[in-house]
Amino acid sequence: MTSLNHYALGAVADWLHRVVGGLQRTEPGYKRIRIAPQPGGGLTSANSSHDTIRGRIEVSWRIADGEVTVQACIPPDTEADVVLPFHPQEPVLTVGDGTHSWRYPAPANYGEAANLSMASPIRDLAKKEPTWQAVMEVLQRYFPGLPLDASAPEAAAMSLNDVLQHVPGVSIELENDLKTALATTAAPEVRKE
């Protein structure tokens, strides 16, 4: 029998509540809390809640249509220090019980694909079909029949730099051809290194 009651699973849930959802206790009995969501990794929304002796605490945030929206529901007899993610003035607000909502402009380009380079993970390169095709054409030209599956766990996190380090006799021409393939297939989104 496999137990699901393991620290590893609890640690993930704790991280999701404290970091992604931004919900943390700062005084015993949840008399005072901190709400400080930390969007990242391409996440555009999250909801977090916790039942306390004072009532349910709820926090949600969303980044959409160029705006950040943060909502919090604070139970009676509780205070919250709120840190609004990506807020231009980086304010820390103290609020009491009730429902609170904030809306402000999102950072420019939040959620857009990162620039692709020789250091980008293969899984990111494979998401851009023209880029992946160009990279594969270069690799097949130098190494016909080279198996490179972007969905394979052992390859997905590797970068092209990593791949080149594991292939003996790599020429500077191969590296330059890969950089050219990256630069020409998605010029506005891809940068050379």
Hey, what's the torsion of the CAs at 142, 146, 149, 155, to 10 degrees? -80
How confident is the model over 58-77, as pLDDT tens digits?
999 999 888 999 999 999 99
Q: What is the pTM of this model?
A: 0.58
Residue 164 binned pLDDT confidence (cut-offs 50, 70, 90) = confident
Q: Quick one: tokens of 54?
A: 């004072």
Residue 124 binned pLDDT confidence (cut-offs 50, 70, 90) = confident
User: Bigger pLDDT: 81 or 145?
Assistant: 81
Angle at 142 between CA 152 and CA 192, to 5 degrees: 75
Highest average pLDDT, of 18-22, 58-62, 178-182, comes from 58-62
Cα 136 from Cα 141, distance rounded (Å)? 8
How confident is the model over 96-116, as pLDDT tens digits?
999 999 999 988 767 655 678
